């Protein structure tokens, strides 16, 4: 008797029941597991390195206004639902 491959893919992996998977609490890993102060320190170092290498960019007030205007125009182009 042949089995349908689509029905086999819906089964749980061998050795792991749904109840066992649900009982484990998800804990943050990596960057998310760090305290906020440590995250800020690491992010700050990345920003400094970016600017030192010449790849960083700091917006001027005029550039920020233009970007905000552009984003606002893009969101208004979505068609509205007709009643």
User: Are 7 and 1 within 8 A, CB to CB?
Assistant: no
Quote the pLDDT of residue 59: 87
Token digits for 71?
């984003």
DSSP 2: P
Instruction: Give pLDDT tens digits for 26-72.
Output: 888 888 899 999 999 999 999 899 888 988 888 899 999 999 888 88
Quote the pLDDT of residue 31: 87
Instruction: Tell me the residue length of the chain.
Output: 83
- Rounded Cα distance between 55 and 24, Å, is 42
Instruction: Give pLDDT tens digits for 5-36.
Output: 555 555 555 655 565 556 678 888 888 899 99
Upper half-sphere CA count for residue 12 (Cβ side, 13 Å): 9
């Amino acid at each position: 008797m042949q089995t349908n491959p689509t029905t086999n893919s819906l089964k749980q992996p061998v050795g792991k029941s749904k109840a066992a998977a649900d009982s484990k609490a998800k804990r943050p890993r990596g960057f998310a597991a760090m305290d906020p102060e440590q995250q800020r320190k690491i992010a700050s170092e990345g920003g400094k390195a970016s600017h030192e290498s010449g790849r960083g960019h700091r917006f001027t007030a005029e550039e920020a206004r233009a970007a905000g205007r552009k984003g606002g125009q893009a969101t208004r182009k979505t068609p509205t639902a007709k009643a």
